[in-house]
């Protein structure tokens, strides 16, 4: 695998942003920019050997700055929602920005400039490269306590996996929940909607959502619902159903409780397109995964192909801890304290069927 870095653009406040191109021996290519650690391009060979760019994105840095879709970005300090935009830790309540109705959604790290560098290990044919991006989130940023040191690492393996590694440490008690918000369409930029993508998810339960897509605290069984992906089913079946949870969210925007060992890198989901022949497998150490079918993407901008985005044009597999965990202490904990290390890994592996 090789990585090259190049100047990309300047932010509106004058910060230089570099882009990094990761390529493997099979010709697969990923492009990551320092702004939000966003994956702006992910080109994968299809069943005919042609490369397809399977992640949506914008054409300019200005669009990434102005966009609110989290396009391809690293998400934090807290991925997904925090109910009523506040949380309490050690008896002290912290108020966050209410940027999603009365709730807090995702945070600002997807709109920060990270410092990237290419790391090399080994020599000659044994040399391995990875991209490391760092950011220091100051105490009080977005309302969160603690100075948080964040490291995001991307590795593109010769076997066809884009591996994302997240590490963080703090100097004061806080909460942390990171994810990546790439929008996948395995048919490429002109692939239409993902209605016919075939999905499998290793989950027997999902979080019931309320009108604001916040978990109610109830974990519902997937049996007999459009959320049962334990076999394989097209997204169309659920998207066109009259299930109350689907109708309320205008599609899938729900956290699946993954059937996996705590902290182990295991298979969470697969998605396949018969059109391209591309299959993507999602592996993660995280306990949950938000499946989001781009229900509000329409009207949010123009894609790399110059065409306006449409609803259900992509599907996100946001591996994470559960949304609104501070409101539900029965959920897996998200607290991070000094002298502890937050460390999670997710891999998106590609092959052709």
Helix (H) or strand (E) holding 243: none
Q: Find out whether 182 is annotated in a ligand binding site.
A: yes
Is 343 marked active-site?
Answer: no
Label residues 192-211 b or e (16+ Cβ within 10 Å = b): ebbeebbbbbbbbbbbbbee
Of 104, 106, 111, 181, which is the active-site residue?
181
81 assigned binding-site residue: yes
Q: Which of 290, 124, 123, 275 is nearest to 203 (CA)?
A: 290
Kindly provide the b/e burial profile for residues 308-340, where b requires at least 16 CB atoms within 10 angstroms of the residue's own CB: ebebbbbbbbbbbbbbbbbbbeebeebbbeeee
Q: What is the CB neighbour count within 10 angstroms for residue 104?
A: 26
- In whole angstroms, what is the distance from residue 297 CA to residue 294 CA? 5
Total count of residues recorded for the chain:
353
Is 253 annotated in a binding site? The answer is yes
Tell me whether residue 130 is annotated as binding.
Answer: no
HSE-CB at 212 with a 13 A cutoff on CA atoms is 19
Annotated catalytic, 318? yes
Distances (CA, A) of 95 to 122, 150, 314: 47, 22, 33
From the candidates 34, 41, 83, 318, which is the catalytic residue?
Answer: 318
DSSP secondary structure string, 204-234?
A: EEEEEE-TTS-EEEEEEE-TTSTT--SS-EE
| Separation of alpha carbons 67 and 301, rounded Å | 8
Question: What pairing do the DSSP bridges indicate for beta strands 86-89 and 16-23?
Answer: unpaired
Measure the CA–CA gap between 225 and 206, rounded to whole angstroms.
11
Q: In whole angstroms, give the CA distance from residue 194 to residue 333.
A: 33
Binding site for beta-D-galactose: what residues are annotated?
Answer: 80-81, 181-183, 253
Binding site: what residues are annotated?
Answer: 80-81, 181-183, 253
Catalytic positions: 181, 318
């Amino acid at each position: 695998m090789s990585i090259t870095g190049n100047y990309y653009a300047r932010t509106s406040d004058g910060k230089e942003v570099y882009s990094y191109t990761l390529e493997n021996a099979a010709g697969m290519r990923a492009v990551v920019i320092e702004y939000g650690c966003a994956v702006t391009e992910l080109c994968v060979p299809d069943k005919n050997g042609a490369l397809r760019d399977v992640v949506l994105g914008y054409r300019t840095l200005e669009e990434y700055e102005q966009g609110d879709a989290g396009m391809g970005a690293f998400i934090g300090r807290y991925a997904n929602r925090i109910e009523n935009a506040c949380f309490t830790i050690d008896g002290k309540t912290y108020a966050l920005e209410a940027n999603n109705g009365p709730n807090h959604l995702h945070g600002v790290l997807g709109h920060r400039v990270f410092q990237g560098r290419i790391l090399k290990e080994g020599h000659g044919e044994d040399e391995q490269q990875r991209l490391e991006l760092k950011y220091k989130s100051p105490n009080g940023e977005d309302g969160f306590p603690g100075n948080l040191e964040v490291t995001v690492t991307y590795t593109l393996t010769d076997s066809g996996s884009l591996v994302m590694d997240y590490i963080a440490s703090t100097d004061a008690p806080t909460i942390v929940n990171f994810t990546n918000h790439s929008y996948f369409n395995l048919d490429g930029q002109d692939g239409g909607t993902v209605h016919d993508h075939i999905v499998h998810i290793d989950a027997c339960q999902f979080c019931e959502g309320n009108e604001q897509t916040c978990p109610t605290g109830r974990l519902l069984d997937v049996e007999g619902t459009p959320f049962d992906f334990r076999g394989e089913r097209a997204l169309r079946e659920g998207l066109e159903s009259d299930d109350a949870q689907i109708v309320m969210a205008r599609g899938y925007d729900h956290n699946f409780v993954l059937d996996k060992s705590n902290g182990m890198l295991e298979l969470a989901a697969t998605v396949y397109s018969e059109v391209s022949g591309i299959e993507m497998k999602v592996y993660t150490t995280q306990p949950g995964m938000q499946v989001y079918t781009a229900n509000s993407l329409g009207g949010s901008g123009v894609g790399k192909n110059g065409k306006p985005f449409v609803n259900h044009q992509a599907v996100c597999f946001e591996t994470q801890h559960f949304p609104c965990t501070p409101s539900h202490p029965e959920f897996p904990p998200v607290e991070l304290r000094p002298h502890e290390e937050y460390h999670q890994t997710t891999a998106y592996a590609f092959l052709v069927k």
